[in-house]
A and B are shown apart, each in its own frame.
Chain A
């Protein structure tokens, strides 16, 4: 925490200088960029997006929900507008920029985004991740760049293939400064990622700011910092018990507000060992807080809708009033459609799903998914008026309902940006090396994508993001349910349950 405060102070000091470089004299906008550095100086476009009352709303909501450290962070950032009144000094002009490490020149910082896109089995799967990183880079470049340099983005398609994923690590090692927005499902071997040499011949690895980390080797890579936290103990041998934290705030809310006697079926996505291992902790945590599980069948992408009839039958036999899928939106659509087809009283059941159901295609299913609850760990896309980072993202991505992958890889970009800005603030733009980035990222104990996401602790892999917000599909729209005020996340520490089990063996099938 001490390091974090120091970092924030340094960032704030640097922001004072940076903001004055931007040549913008609008006081309000500075408050919207709490981690501002040379790149994050406010500009006119931001002003156009935000209304005058936004800062007040932000202050109110964040004060209510965030812990003390978050308040401190916000307070620090709110001091930034003063910076615009400092004398203008451009730190970039005062320094002779150097090629300080692999992927860095005097003009550019090259990052690589690797995502599973080109598989014949699922073409275009994570294209959103690539789009998100490109949008972030364009946004950063339009605001003056990062560490006095322009950000260049290389793409690599890992193609849902272990070899192509390794190839991506090799490309990053040879040509990029860091990986940003990694969304590869089969990062089974991270040796090349972790042992890559820097420009000085030290085998320190490539900083990897990933969105998702599904496999234990990737989750426990010492150079990987995932915005979608693994919540799991590291190092891990791959077999046997493992300590995992799970987010259960949404289920707790359902127990308190819908019924204290929730019992039902939890669908486990069983195609991959990693999906089982990542789903079972939440299921057992539900039981821990008092939800009775009537059945925990596995589902596959190949499960037909009529086969969901078997799950309906289990619910019918047990008189279930709760239904949760750890799988995707299509799974929930099939489940609910089959329940309708079988003449089940669907209104008596609390249907719940995770981020995977927050898609336009879910809404396209129409009435059949009405009243389904969906929980997120970040503010939804329609709340642009309540968070500047979200507003920037929505403008840059230019899609009224972007895929969640895009938001995740944008968040990776912001994480990378924040770490880089910290280094620059401390040592100047020529202090930027892979080692410095690794050190900076490892010392981050709280990062919340400038208030858009639940804060995460990067000093460990085990601690989960404590915040959530809950929505419900009402009249074919996602409607915020909890917390009721827009721009807020519920960050109660009791939202998290920690358990240690052999998760692979927990699944009954």
Chain B
């Protein structure tokens, strides 16, 4: 410790500062720095910081009081800003009235509804499910905004009291709106800290997160407290969105992306420390403003100044202390009844997949408009793209599904694979280089795993998100990585075993084969020592470590395997279209969608890959439907499903946390003659369902005699304690 600060933090800070100085010297623009220009730039930075601080405060408050990190915080702000515009600008309401209605009525109502309908059910869900559901809410809210307000139309939200009115600062002017934002941001942070630390409700909020039952026994009302927390978080999100909108314009994507900067600020405060979160936001604001004003990164790194937030997030996460092993608490998801797929089952399954793909795409079976064999180039092109994304999605199964290591950067690994392939295979399209891609992507995965090995849960999610964002802003847009070409394909057709896969149908079949190999490899991996170790560290790192499992090494291996799979998938993904949009092609939102779909399918089941293979088929059906005509209602339905489907599917995880494939598999497996275990499991579950729900330890209301019997039966003491005539009779 140096002055009470850990060595690692001091060293990381010194290294970061040194790096920043070197970077500044190398990229200095040469502009004259006057006191006036420095002050103006500082003022801009502080104002930006204040904007982001409001979002960050909302994130911290919700996380501290509910234990859920709300990825939808930005989307709540977007929705509220549009609603404010509708009331104030479009319908002519007074700004104060519109602000009151949105922030004090709509936002709390939205928060309470989200809590009552969704969040309360996630209390015992795994972190993956919690995060995925908030991401799904974000996607759904943005879709609704797009549908209601035709988000392509440029709109402006006016500044409170106008842009021309404010305080004269000499070299510049401070408009009232900005002063209000600054004051409100600080006031909110101070008041929230007071609320959480000094008031009874604040204490109750934190207590409910720590131990809901214990808090309830001490007089707190958990449901009321969590609803209050969500209402408060929504209000802060709404206020942030409305106050930021005049600065950015009413563009959903732009407004929502602000929340990523707020993530970095919140992480600066370790997700719980409000003052540090505000300081983090201010620091990011100052760095971004001064970077933009004085540094010149050139055309090749033109988005570098936008990468300040993800880089700070990475730095903060690296500087975090080693996560403590959780002991004395059993995870809820331990109650699983999983069965290892036998090697021959996997072999048969993969064989069936390949045969079906060949039969379908070869046109051997006639299914009318549903027949993929009748697909044209367009349908096959879409199917190939979806198939490649499914391959990328499959790489998440061992990482997220088994090892419980959250990864929002599958597209970054895939893009890196495409880059490696481009550099080595060049114009040849030699498919054997794909194996090398797999080998070279593994170290990148291991590199990411090193800080990940120290962390887990939410920090891991944030770190991978920052990594993905940094790659998409700094690495991929560089012209050396994905050079722009004048004509033709950037990625040539793959040539393998003397065959050039320039035919779309042939390429589809090639990818199906790769998909089947991936799935079968996963089946075997899951049965291996490593597969069992990954499951073990997911269940309990403490227990795994106690049993001699090398936790760090196990994590490194699973990251390497996942990155390797994603890298190979990336080659196919890039080859489908032949050209990669190096700027938007690696957008974080696309990566989010892949993770969402895989999670909804059931990320822990290797055969969930089968579900992903239906995505291209489904997409092909949609295109065929459009051509068939006279099916407008189906096309409309498809549109709605395309817009809202992924979000709604993920919301389904609230009820089926293990995903759609898991549930489908449970329904299907008892039919198989050799699955006596599945039939027995279903029978046991049905018997259990006939028993009444026990409730929350009798906190909300007294136990009924039936519930007492149910508890005794589960404890195995029913025969000893229950009189023949039953409790009710005995007491009476």
Contact = CB atoms under 8 A, between A and B. Distances in A.
Interface of A: 120-125, 127, 160-164, 166-167, 170-171, 173-174, 186, 188-192, 216-217, 220-221, 235-239, 270-273, 276, 297-298, 300-302, 304-307, 309-310, 312-314, 316-317, 329-330, 333-334, 337, 340-343, 359, 361, 364-365, 368, 504-509
B7 interface: no
Contacts of A313: 36-37, 40-41, 293
A380 to B, nearest CB: 19
A341 B163 contact: yes
A364 to B, nearest CB: 7
A271 B175 CA distance: 29
A343 to B, nearest CB: 4
B581 A337 contact: no
A192 B377 contact: yes
A304 B48 contact: yes
B479 A304 contact: no
B579 A188 contact: yes
Contacts of B51: 304
Interface of B: 31-32, 34, 36-37, 40-41, 43-44, 47-48, 51, 142-143, 146, 150-156, 163-164, 166, 168, 172-173, 175, 178, 246-249, 251, 253-254, 257, 288-289, 292-293, 296-299, 301-303, 306, 376-378, 381-382, 385, 477, 479, 483-490, 576-585, 587, 589, 643
18 contacts: A120-B253, A123-B152, A188-B578, A188-B579, A191-B488, A217-B485, A235-B487, A276-B299, A276-B302, A300-B303, A302-B248, A302-B257, A305-B246, A313-B293, A333-B156, A341-B173, A507-B302, A508-B296
B156 A365 contact: yes
Given A123-B146, A298-B302, A301-B251, A191 B489 contact: yes
A506 B298 CA distance: 9
A302 B146 contact: no
Given A273-B477, A341-B175, A509-B297, 11 more contacts: A120-B142, A124-B153, A162-B577, A167-B381, A173-B377, A189-B579, A297-B292, A300-B306, A304-B247, A305-B247, A341-B178
Contacts of B376: 170, 174
A167 B382 contact: yes
A103 to B, nearest CB: 14
A343 B172 contact: yes
Contacts of A238: 483-487
A468 to B, nearest CB: 24
Contacts of A312: 40
Nearest to A215: B484
B486 A220 contact: yes
A310 B163 contact: no
Given A120-B143, A188-B577, A306 B385 contact: no
Given A120-B146, A343-B172, A170 B378 contact: yes
A171 B34 contact: no
B163 A368 contact: yes
Contacts of B485: 216-217, 237-238
Contact of A216 (B248, B254, B289, B486): B486
A264 B310 CA distance: 33
A163 B172 contact: no
A163 B41 contact: no
Nearest to A128: B152
A127 B288 CA distance: 35
Contacts of A188: 490, 577-581
Contact of A337 (B163, B293, B302, B487): B163
A223 to B, nearest CB: 12
Contacts of A164: 382
A342 B40 contact: yes
Contacts of B589: 120-121
B240 to A, nearest CB: 13
A453 to B, nearest CB: 25
Contacts of B249: 330, 334
Given A170-B376, A507-B299, A310 B41 contact: yes
Nearest to B643: A120
Counting chain B CB atoms within 10 Å of each CB, which of A216, A217, A307 scores highest? A307
B153 to A, nearest CB: 7
Contacts of A161: 581
B299 A125 contact: no
Contacts of A170: 376-378, 381
A243 to B, nearest CB: 14
B44 A217 contact: no
B584 A509 contact: no
A505 B299 contact: yes
B173 A342 contact: yes
Closest 5 CB pairs of A and B: A188-B579, A124-B152, A238-B486, A343-B173, A507-B299
Nearest to A273: B484
A337 B246 CA distance: 10
A173 B292 CA distance: 46
A296 to B, nearest CB: 10
A191 B578 contact: yes
B164 A341 contact: yes
Contact of B486 (A166, A217, A302): A217
B163 A340 contact: yes
A283 to B, nearest CB: 13
Counting chain A CB atoms within 10 Å of each CB, which of B154, B155, B301 scores highest? B154
A235 B247 contact: no
A344 to B, nearest CB: 9
A298 B300 CA distance: 12
Nearest to A164: B382
A300 B40 CA distance: 21
Given A124-B152, A167-B381, A341-B175, A162 B47 contact: no
Nearest to A125: B152
A504 B156 contact: no
Counting chain B CB atoms within 10 Å of each CB, which of A161, A506, A508, A509 scores highest? A509
Contacts of B587: 121
A509 B296 contact: yes
Nearest to A314: B31
Counting chain B CB atoms within 10 Å of each CB, which of A120, A170, A334 scores highest? A120
B577 A189 contact: yes
Given A167-B382, A310-B289, A302 B254 contact: yes
A160 B377 CA distance: 19
Contact of B40 (A191, A217, A236, A309): A309
A220 B485 CA distance: 11
B52 to A, nearest CB: 10
Nearest to B386: A163
Contact of A307 (B48, B166, B172, B298): B48
Contacts of A302: 248, 254, 257, 306
A342 B40 CA distance: 9
Contacts of B248: 302, 304-305
Contacts of A189: 488-490, 577-579
A359 B152 CA distance: 13
A447 B143 CA distance: 42
A301 B469 CA distance: 17
Contacts of B581: 161-162, 186, 188
Contacts of B490: 188-189
A123 B151 contact: yes
Nearest to A174: B376
B129 to A, nearest CB: 23
Nearest to A194: B487
Counting chain B CB atoms within 10 Å of each CB, which of A127, A330, A334 scores highest? A330
A316 B38 CA distance: 13
B82 to A, nearest CB: 13
A192 B376 CA distance: 13
A239 B146 contact: no
A235 B150 CA distance: 39
A163 B154 contact: no
A414 B189 CA distance: 60
B382 A309 contact: no
A96 B306 CA distance: 63
Contacts of A317: 31-32, 34, 37
